[in-house]
């Protein structure tokens, strides 16, 4: 807000007009151009106050340095964020890679199941093999509509399939349907080429054929899976597309089919 001192610089009183102010200010500017010694700074400040023009903030050199540092940090923040993401990925991937070296068969059991003891399954599905060579992850999954818990279970299943590196899926019918729900992008392999390895005939009624391929095997009962209590009768065996130890998955399926 200006005061009388500002008006006095231009020789004006309270009844001044904008035209009068501009006229007096222009005369001072002309004088400053002709006379380098003429100090027009007080006139500039008064002119800005009278017209309500905000003055540039005056800050110390130290404060300016702080602001410059903040600006540089802001400009480089995207690189810091990207670096943090890379570190996070490494934090997840490296332990997984280490674990992968000690585990050669990853099994995912998913559905409306109840499991009493996964260690028993490890022992009977791969007798004579050290338990640490086989891992079993159980993901409860329900497709009951209107059930919040069921909805969360499906999200957990989807994320696990996205991030996991399973070699064998043991599921109920609903989860199996989920795995083959997209005809253009099944989440499991066509296992037609492994039929002989399973020790069964191509006409075995347990094989599930879809679109000219075989993408699963239905097992009514198996002593290997006695500790897995199905909500509905039967188990569905399949091999994920991302499986990297198909040989051991085949051996596990063979043992389930034989018992």
Q: Which tens digits make up the pLDDT trace of 43-53?
A: 888 888 888 76
- Say if CB 115 and CB 109 are below 8 A apart: yes
CA distance readout (Å), 141 to 138, 150, 162, 167: 9, 7, 15, 19
Specify the DSSP class assigned to residue 220: S
Measured between alpha carbons, how far is 80 from 84 in angstroms, rounded to an integer?
6
The neighbouring-strand residues paired with 107 are 136, 168
Looking only at the bridges linking them, the beta strands covering 235-238 and 228-230 are: unpaired
Q: Which tens digits make up the pLDDT trace of 109-131?
A: 988 888 878 888 888 888 878 76
Measured between alpha carbons, how far is 61 from 190 in angstroms, rounded to an integer?
70
Domain boundaries, the chain: 4-51, 59-102, 103-258
- Say if CB 112 and CB 142 are below 8 A apart: yes
Measured between alpha carbons, how far is 164 from 172 in angstroms, rounded to an integer?
19
**Among 131, 72, 113, CA closest to 226:** 113
The token pair at 56 is: 């540039």
pLDDT of residue 219: 92
CA neighbours within 13 Å on the CB side: how many for 214?
18
Tally of helices (H runs) and strands (E runs) in the chain: 9, 8
Q: Give the H or E element holding residue 229.
A: strand 228-230
pLDDT of residue 185: 81
**Among 68, 163, 172, CA closest to 113:** 172
pLDDT of residue 218: 94
Looking only at the bridges linking them, the beta strands covering 168-171 and 105-111 are: parallel
CATH 3.40.190.10 for domain 103-258: yes
Per-residue pLDDT of the chain (259 residues; tens, 9 = 90+): 678 888 888 888 888 888 888 888 888 888 888 888 888 888 888 888 888 764 545 556 666 666 666 666 555 555 555 555 556 555 555 555 444 556 789 999 988 888 878 888 888 888 878 767 888 888 888 877 666 666 667 777 777 777 768 999 999 998 999 888 887 888 899 999 999 999 999 999 999 998 889 999 999 888 888 888 876 678 999 999 888 889 999 999 999 998 7
Measured between alpha carbons, how far is 47 from 7 in angstroms, rounded to an integer?
9
Owner of token pair 């497709």 = 143
């Amino acid at each position: 807000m200006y005061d009388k001192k500002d008006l006095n610089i231009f020789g004006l009183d309270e009844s001044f007009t904008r035209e009068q102010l501009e006229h007096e200010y222009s005369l001072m500017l002309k004088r400053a151009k002709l006379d380098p010694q003429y100090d027009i700074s007080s006139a500039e400040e008064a002119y800005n106050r009278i017209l309500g023009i905000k003055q540039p903030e005056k800050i110390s050199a130290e404060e300016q340095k702080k602001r410059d540092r903040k600006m540089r940090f802001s400009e480089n923040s995207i690189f810091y964020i990207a670096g943090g993401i890379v570190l996070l990925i490494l934090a997840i991937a490296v332990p997984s890679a280490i674990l992968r070296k000690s585990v050669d068969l990853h099994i995912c059991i998913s559905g409306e199941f109840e499991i009493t003891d996964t260690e028993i399954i490890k022992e009977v599905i791969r007798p004579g093999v050290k338990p640490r060579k086989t891992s079993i992850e159980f993901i409860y999954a329900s497709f009951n509509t209107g059930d919040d818990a069921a909805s969360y279970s499906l999200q957990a299943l989807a994320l696990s399939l996205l991030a996991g590196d399973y070699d064998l899926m043991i599921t109920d019918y609903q989860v199996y349907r989920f795995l083959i729900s997209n005809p253009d992008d099944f989440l499991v392999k066509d296992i037609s080429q492994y039929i002989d390895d399973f020790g069964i005939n191509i006409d075995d009624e347990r094989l599930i054929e879809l679109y000219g391929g075989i993408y699963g095997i239905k097992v009514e009962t198996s002593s290997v899976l006695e500790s897995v209590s199905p909500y509905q009768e039967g188990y569905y065996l399949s091999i994920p597309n991302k499986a990297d130890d198909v040989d051991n998955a085949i051996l596990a399926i063979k043992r389930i089919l034989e018992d």
